[in-house]
Amino acid sequence: MLNASRWIMRYGLAALIALLVAAVSAPAEGMRFEKNVMVPMRDGVKLAANVFIPKGDGPFPVVLIRSPYGKGDENNGQGKFFTERGYAMVIQDCRGKFDSEGEWDPFRYDAEDGADTVKWIHEQNWCNGRVGTGGGSYVGYTQWALAPLVGDAVDCLLPVVPFSQAYSGTHYVGGAYQLALTMGWGAGVAFEQHETPPQFNLGVALHHLPLNDWDDATGKSIPYLRDWVAHSTPDAYWAKRGVDDAYEKIVAPILSIDGWYDIFAKVALEDINAVKARSSDRPIRRNLFCIMGPWGHGVNQTIVGDLDFGENAKLDFNKLQSDWYGYWLKDEETGVQDWAPYRLFIMGDNQWRDEYEWPLARTDWKKAYIHSGGKANTLDGDGTLSFDAPQRETPDEYTYDPEIPVPTLGGNNLVGAPIGPHDQREAELRRDVLVYTSEPLEHDMEVTGPVKMVLYAASSATDTDFTAKLVDVYPDGRAMNLCDGIIRARYRNSNTDLELIEPGKAYEYEIDLWVTANVFKAGHRVRLEVSSSNFPRFDRNPNTGHAFGADAETKKAEQTVYHETGRESYVLLPVIPR
């Protein structure tokens, strides 16, 4: 049985603790520590903050961290790290968590509460008027959330493994629900550290239907879990839980750090690009940076999933944040002004490289088409992948049964499923997985950028899912996943104006496979998998066409995938000339 709260705290946050500094250490000598300072919000609710003030004469620049995970005490290692370097630090419990008043409703209050806290900091006699923010995961979100409201009252942000939108950043992908992430994390943070949460088996709970009463599986009523299912389109509920259309109001320099296998890999890049695209201020656009490593939900990992990316995969995070805050909060010449906007770890070569735009301007977009004689089912089928367009070919068919979905074997996960690259051959032995593989490459081929698939397919259902996965096949047969995606049929044209499909009719689907940066080495093969489930990363489409979350029963769907003239199915690869 799984204690979900402790599982989240242990594994979901362990990477964040490592990427910051040691979680517990002796307090800095002479540091002044103020515990549970109650900071008033605009609606009268007071939020608890621990304040760390350096020894010596102030005032000081300040680093703010707003977290739902607990703020510790005077032994908090981050407090020591910052005060020893001449910064005051404020670490605050989010609304409704630990010592803070109010209701815990994830994502809802962080914009206003963050802005009110920044205003309060500026009013303190130990603040010199320079404020930065820091932290990872949800603590990255709290930074993005406040940024449009504070103008230049915040001098810099350092969000790690972050996101800015709750709807598209954490919950819904291609119309499908990120089940393991949202429900696993959501249940875990519903309990406080001092509570004794009920024991429940997360693996069993993830199979629970209907989804609109999923919290029954936890032994505790958790209203926001029901809300997340009830609001399956980006409506007014979600508009209050993200930056939405306010990117142009962000004026602070931002350093965003993430990994290719993180749950926020795609949005970390998109968020930075959204500010670049919408800001009319050239210096602001120049002061936006993104680092992407080979990691999952954290940094400095060398072994991720089944692959070892080597010591070169590590960052000196302490130096990185010292340089960042030193430049923006202390006017120190730390070299930040010479950084490239993007620093990318190129897997396969396992080397870092500086880039100046995303996607890369020199990208050669290549269509890799799927082919078969109608028997691409399983690894032993006749599916192939090549840059030659198909002509007259027999379509492939398979049965999607939601009761026995294709398991999630690695990828962009946090809870409930393996993280990172894993051998996919177990899934590729299933008849409901179509496998298309290229010939061995004669030369290295780099694929760096966003990846998508255009798929022509029909279904016997009025609503169903289609999935795609890009895989690097090693000469020894290992099939290591790089990136994947999903599309829910009713979301094929819009995530607001939903349309069911006509059974038996072929439709064009665009599947976003997110992002990667990988060199397929000579002798390797490029593989594409097509199916209809990836569980529990995504919820199972019950194939009924009913309202989302209401089904307790499922039915099978007969799927047909086309690859012929006029209905060419392909994956669009961002190939980088070498």
What's the CATH number where 344 sits? 3.40.50.1820
How far is residue 496's CA from residue 364's CA, in Å, rounded to a whole number? 33
Residue among 167, 191, 155 nearest 5 (CA): 191
Do 235 and 369 belong together in one domain?
A: no
**HEC profile for 127-170?**
EEEEEEEEEECHHHHHHHHHHHHHHHHCCEEEEECCCCEHHHHH
How far is residue 367's CA from residue 388's CA, in Å, rounded to a whole number? 8
- State yes or no: is 171 an active-site residue: no
The model's pLDDT over 298-332, given as tens digits with 9 standing for 90+, comes to 888 999 999 999 999 999 999 999 999 999 999 99
Look up residue 55 and give its two tokens. Answer: 């020894």
Q: Where are the alpha helices (DSSP H) in 30-76?
A: none
Inter-residue contact 172 to 178 (CB < 8 Å): yes
Look up residue 118 and give its two tokens. Answer: 């920044």
* Structural domain boundaries enclosing 433: 364-576
The model's pLDDT over 203-231, given as tens digits with 9 standing for 90+, comes to 899 999 999 998 888 888 899 999 999 99
Tokens 């000598």 — which residue? Answer: 29
List 67, 137, 256, 532, catalytic entry:
137
| 8: pLDDT strictly greater than 50 | no
pLDDT of amino acid 22? 35
Residue among 256, 57, 50, 291 nearest 169 (CA): 256
pLDDT of amino acid 245? 83
| 359: pLDDT strictly greater than 50 | yes
CB atoms within 10 A of CB 93: 23
Q: Which of 355, 377, 409 is the last residue in one of the domains?
A: 355
Do 260 and 409 belong together in one domain?
A: no
CB atoms within 10 A of CB 266: 23
The model's pLDDT over 550-566, given as tens digits with 9 standing for 90+, comes to 999 999 999 999 999 99
How far is residue 514's CA from residue 359's CA, in Å, rounded to a whole number? 12
CA angle 85, 89, 90 (to 5 degrees): 175
pLDDT confidence band for 1 (50 / 70 / 90): very low
The rounded mean pLDDT for the chain is 93
Distances (CA, A) of 331 to 121, 130, 192, 325: 20, 11, 40, 9
How far is residue 182's CA from residue 205's CA, in Å, rounded to a whole number? 13
Work out the average pLDDT over 144-150. Answer: 97
Calculate what percentage of the chain has a pLDDT beyond 70: 94
Do 349 and 386 belong together in one domain?
A: no
Do 476 and 511 belong together in one domain?
A: yes
pLDDT of amino acid 330? 98
pLDDT of amino acid 14? 37
Work out the average pLDDT over 65-89. Answer: 94
pLDDT of amino acid 179? 97
Do 140 and 284 belong together in one domain?
A: yes
Tokens 């609109």 — which residue? Answer: 212
How far is residue 210's CA from residue 554's CA, in Å, rounded to a whole number? 10
The model's pLDDT over 450-502, given as tens digits with 9 standing for 90+, comes to 999 999 999 999 999 999 999 999 999 999 999 999 999 999 999 999 999 99
Q: Which helix (H) or strand (E) holds 574?
A: strand 570-576
Do 388 and 468 belong together in one domain?
A: yes
Strand bridging mode 127-136 / 507-520: unpaired
Tokens 């009319």 — which residue? Answer: 280
Do 121 and 192 belong together in one domain?
A: yes
| 129: pLDDT strictly greater than 70 | yes
Q: Which of 301, 333, 355 is the last residue in one of the domains?
A: 355
Q: Which helix (H) or strand (E) holds 318?
A: helix 317-330
Give SS3 for 536: coil
Do 38 and 116 belong together in one domain?
A: yes
Do 278 and 376 belong together in one domain?
A: no
Single-letter code of the amino acid located at 561: V
Single-letter code of the amino acid located at 330: K
pLDDT of amino acid 28? 59
Q: In angstroms, how far apart are the furthest CA atoms of the chain?
A: 79
Phi, psi at 166, each rounded to 5°: -80, -35
Work out the average pLDDT over 193-199. Answer: 63
How far is residue 317's CA from residue 322's CA, in Å, rounded to a whole number? 8
- State yes or no: is 460 an active-site residue: no
Whole-structure pTM value: 0.94
Distances (CA, A) of 16 to 66, 127, 578: 14, 27, 35
Q: Where are the alpha helices (DSSP H) in 178-301?
A: 179-188, 202-205, 223-230, 236-239, 265-278, 282-286
Look up residue 547 and give its two tokens. Answer: 């309202």
Inter-residue contact 132 to 155 (CB < 8 Å): yes
Q: What is the DSSP letter of 191?
A: S
- State yes or no: is 137 an active-site residue: yes
List 93, 110, 258, 262, catalytic entry:
262
Do 344 and 388 belong together in one domain?
A: no
pLDDT of amino acid 201? 87
Do 349 and 371 belong together in one domain?
A: no
Cα 321 to chain centroid, rounded: 21
Give SS3 for 35: strand
How far is residue 102's CA from residue 109's CA, in Å, rounded to a whole number? 10
Inter-residue contact 373 to 382 (CB < 8 Å): yes
Q: What is the phi-psi region of residue 566: left when phi exceeds 0, alpha when psi lies from -120 to 50, beta otherwise?
A: left
Give SS3 for 343: strand
Number of domains forming the structure of the chain: 2
How far is residue 244's CA from residue 168's CA, in Å, rounded to a whole number? 10
List 231, 297, 371, 422, catalytic entry:
297
pLDDT of amino acid 219? 82
Distances (CA, A) of 174 to 224, 449, 512, 556, 572: 21, 19, 8, 21, 17
Helices and strands (H and E) in the chain: how many = 14, 25
pLDDT of amino acid 193? 62
Burial of 48-72, coded b for 16+ CB within 10 Å and e otherwise, reads: bbbbbbbeeebebbbbbbbbbbbbe
In sequence order, which residues have a C-beta less than 8 Å from that of residue 426 and are 6 or more positions away? Answer: 407, 409
Q: Which of 304, 330, 355 is the last residue in one of the domains?
A: 355
Work out the average pLDDT over 119-140. Answer: 97
CB atoms within 10 A of CB 221: 11
Do 369 and 349 belong together in one domain?
A: no
Domain containing 528 — which CATH number?
Answer: 2.60.120.260
How far is residue 37's CA from residue 388's CA, in Å, rounded to a whole number? 66
| 20: pLDDT strictly greater than 70 | no
pLDDT of amino acid 454? 98
pLDDT of amino acid 30? 74
Phi, psi at 571, each rounded to 5°: -105, 130
